[in-house]
Structure 1
Amino acid sequence: MVKPAYEQRGSGAAGSKPGAPAVAVIGGGWAGCAAAVELASAGYKVTLLEAARTLGGRARRIETDRRQLDNGQHILLGAYRSTLSLLRRIGVDARTALLTLPLQMRYPPDSGGMDFIAPRLPAPLHLALALLRAEGLSRADKLSLARFSSTARWAGWQLNDDCSVSQLLERWEQSENLIRLMWRPLCLAALNTPPERASAQIFLNVLRDSLGAARSASDMLLPRHDLSRLLPEAAASYVTQRGGSVRTGASVKALRSIEGRLWQLDISGAAVGGNWSTYFPHVVLATGASQAAGLLHAIPDCDTSAICQQLTALETEAITTCYLQYAPQVRLAQPFFALADDASLQRWGQFVFDRGQLDDQQQGLLAVVISAAGEAAALPQETLARAIAAQLAATLQMPQLQQPGWFKVITEKRATFACTPGLLRPGHATGLAGLLLAGDYTAGDYPATLEGAVRSGLAAARAITATV
């Protein structure tokens, strides 16, 4: 038998009680962890199963040949109410776990970009003053941005018919310079889909809850801890303290319905002996879309063709993060900068983060993010890293960045679904009693973000608790 790398069992001293309803959560990403916490809080005896050795799914810590790194750099928003509430519930202090910055889109000085930063004033004054003070934007650009904001508010952030972000920007007469410096990078960062193919309605939903809400909702939150520590591991502790169990290295190979009353899980890779069951009246399937489709399709004597078709129709987009290590004294003027990317010039980076300003143990480490990274990810890793180093050296006017001590390129090939106009996303219900679906790809207002994953996990769990 293979001993799982992470195995916790609760004592039952709090939370679930003898005879409490059992539930399995398959998948220890942020959606699965959110579902597990919600169910444990409601008194269920939760078994959280994760095939990988580390919790977190597509937002997790990984071991590399250099050091422990996240599998991608993330920004959260103050608008992520469900995520921030969940952090509080599981005992994570967001004030120390996250660096809070005001809304900004700041390019390195003299790089041909813009410098837009919102002051800490009540909404919408913070945006008005930021626009007035913004550098690198012409009067026409500023009028263009003001027109976008007023038109979106007048329309209630809703479109009669969805279209691409590019079509929306053209319709609302946005200037080319503003599109290049603000709307395109925001769209890539939020939806991980190029503006020509991205859903304008989903983009507006994100802007509504950030730019169009209270000032704090537009704050940008940068994780100081690694992503597994930030939420998944604290969620696992919360579950075990309430009588549940958490097993990593436990891969669910198949699901079987037992007379429509129980679900039997075929699990490999983890010790299946001991005082726990593979039979559950409720299951939350919180894996990636393709894995969920495979498990659903293979359930004997159950018609899951409709939901499987929706799941397999989802196209994926990659995200690449290039880590570059320099001498500890190398430091950027601020925690992160936007970068002007141009594939024709081999400038791939879109944002650069100074990890040393987030974590004292990562001095001199820069993380460069490339969203919708299909073309860049196809390059040899050394070629891509050297191109990014050259881009940083030239853009930041720091020649020493041309030669990092080491680099690590990490690509999540299926980081998100392609958030296209009018996309039909599956709901939580699978049509099978006791089996719910959770993931950032399920139907909702948001694209594939951490907040979308958390909201989906909470909703799936509440669908179970509502039936009892």
Structure 2
Amino acid sequence: MAAEAQHIAVIGAGWAGCTAAVELTQAGHQVTLFEASRQLGGRARRVDINEIALDNGQHILLGAYSQTLQMMRKVGIDPASAMLRLPLQMCYPADSGGMTFTAPRLPAPLHLLFALWRARGLERQDKLALARFSSAARWMGWQLHDDCSVSTLLERFDQTDRLIRLMWRPLCIAALNTRPEHASAQVFLAVLRDSLGARRRASDMLLPRLDLSSLFPQRAAAFIEERGGNVESGCSIRQLRRNGEQWQLQGNDANLDFDAVVIATPPETAATLLDGSADASLLATLRSFEYEPITTCYLQYASDTRLPRPFFALLDDPENAGKNVGNTAAWGQFVFDRGQLDPTQAGLLAVVISASSAAIQAGHEELAKAVAAQLAATFKQPQLAAPSWTKVISEKRATFACTPGLVRPANDSGLDKLMLAGDYTASDYPATLESAVRSGKLAARELLAQLR
């Protein structure tokens, strides 16, 4: 027997909140989605700069993001047209001192073996170390008895300095937004398990052609409204409290009662909302997270500026930056040619700097100059040192610091008909779009079970 339709509030219209709202709406409930800002998407959203729709951070999705791709299809987004699908690759610009590693369209694990065999820029001992690590991780089932740092894990498996610098370090920083010496090896292995250790398409890299708000959140909002729900942007919820059998939301102008609630905000905001309702241990866990920023530097050049590939890895070596770009720190880790994703953005490059606390200390203007100098030196094109305009966007709390043994709360808050959703909830994944979507689906599923 179907459950009677309930009035459910979802607080926070990031990817987790939008997912939970869609799932609850599809189950036949009356959902109101609240978002404090005007733009949907949370920490993966569109921003408008110089009349151009950009993102607050350039993203790469993986073919392994099965739940994210499923949710896109559910709300009417075709991933095949919305994103550029590329084979797994770690390619540095020619003559930059990096490597070229590209997986062909072959069944797993042949695609990795062939990519390793023909990789350029790696010595024989590097390739043997990579093969040894991959084989051992598979034999271990991608599991550790005791978590440790990624650096410790790589040391245990005798990974070469060059392989760490060119592959493992940038992959760790990109996936976990935490530097290897502080990052959880178990979470890193989980990412490798679902990409390198799975079928070939799981390791594909997906580059959004649409801005991040259009890629899912806006279509999710339309899905909800078309089925009788409500989306309230620019509406901040300050506090929650029990009101008999219901939950009362204290908002901008009024107090509203709902049968059930999903809190899909950052953890510190969730703690504020639950102060006075949740037990002390949950509040302490929500307030215990440390955070890492992600910074994206956009640089506009002449419209005929085009990179040989849609994206490249860059040598991120601030300590030895003088060897790479004169006297300027080389901070960028990946550069994307936005014109190859959206023809209206021809000549626009996006440089991503994960775990960017040190990079942003000198200010946005100095960082943009450093990144432009890095591009000019790396690609050996002096004109790249002088873009027509730049814009640095730094999401200061982009992700939690994904450290070994980190305690993450369950979706079930322990309070009746109140769930938590977000990429920080209990999972073996780091803070990614996929973990946010998975959390939103799980929160909705557990709430539906309570409502039945």
Residue from 249, 273, 285 that aligns with 1:265: 249
Contact 1:35 1:461 in 2 (8 A): yes
**Residue in structure 1 matching 2:268, options 290, 296, 316:** 290
Residue pairs, 1:165-244, within 5 angstroms:
165-244=150-229
1:279 to 254, 257, 261: 257
CA positional deviation for 1:56: 0.1
Counterpart position of 1:331: 306
AA aligned to 1:234 is: R
Shift of 1:65: 4.8
Q: Which residue of 2 aligns with 1:130?
A: 115
2:422 corresponds to which of 431, 439, 462: 439
1:304–1:430 CA contact under 8 A, matched in 2: no
How many angstroms apart in 1 are the aligned matches of 2:279 and 2:341? 45
Which residue in the other structure is 1:421 paired with?
A: 404
Shift of 1:131: 0.2
Q: Distance in 2 between matches of 1:139 and 1:222?
A: 31
CA distance in 2, matches of 1:453, 1:105: 25
Q: Which runs of 4+ in 1 moved over 4 A?
A: none
The partner residue of 2:95 within 65, 85, 110 is 110
User: Counterpart of 1:61 in structure 2: which amino acid?
Assistant: R
Give the secondary-structure state (helix, strand or coil) at the position aligned to 1:46: strand
For the pair 1:49 / 2:34, whether they are aligned, the reply is: yes
1:190 is displaced (CA, Å) by: 0.2
Q: How far apart, in 1, do the equivalents of 2:112 and 2:263 lie? A: 41
In structure 1, what is the equivalent of residue 386 of structure 2? 403
SS at match of 1:74: coil
Identity of aligned residues (%): 62
Report the CA distance between 1:211 and its aligned residue: 0.2
Which of residues 345, 348, 364 in structure 2 aligns to 1:381? 364
Shift of 1:185: 0.0
8 Å contact kept, 1:165–1:195: yes
User: Does the 8 Å contact 1:184/1:195 carry over to 2?
Assistant: yes
Aligned length: 442
1:349 equivalenced with 2:332 (yes/no) = yes
Is the 8 Å Cα contact of residues 108 and 395 (structure 1) preserved in structure 2? yes
| 1:206/1:446 contact within 8 Å kept | yes
Structure 1 residue 304, shift from structure 2 partner? 2.5
Counterparts of 1:66 and 1:396 in 2: how far apart (Å)? 28
Q: Distance in 1 between matches of 2:170 and 2:207?
A: 17
Read off the aligned partner of 1:320 and give its amino acid letter: T
Q: Distance in 1 between matches of 2:138 and 2:430?
A: 20
For 1:104, the aligned partner's letter is Q
Give the gaps of 5 or more residues in structure 2.
322-328
Listed one character per residue, the Cα deviations across residues 9-48 of structure 1 (whole Å, up to 9, x for unaligned) are: xxxxxxx99x621100000000000000110111111100
**Deviation readout 1:146-191 (Å, 9 max, x if unpaired):** 0010000010000000000000000011000000000000000000
Gaps of 5+ in 1: 1-15
Aligned mates of 1:428, 1:20 — CA distance in 2:
22
For residues 259-309 of structure 1, what are the alpha-carbon distances to aligned partners after superposition, in whole Å with 9 as ceiling and x for unaligned?
A: 2x100111117xx6xxxx821111000001111111111x3xx34311111
For 1:417-441, what per-residue CA distance to the aligned partner results, in whole angstroms no more than 9, with x for missing partners?
A: 0000000001111121111100000
In structure 2, the partner of 1:61 is: 46
Matches within 5 A, 1:314-325: 314-325=289-300
Q: How far apart are residue 66 of structure 1 and its match?
A: 5.6
Letter in 2 for 1:135: R
Cα distance in structure 1, aligned partners of 2:209 and 2:51: 19
**CA distance in structure 1 between the aligned counterparts of 2:99 and 2:301, rounded to whole angstroms:** 26
Partner of 1:8: none
Which residue in 2 is equivalent to 1:307?
282
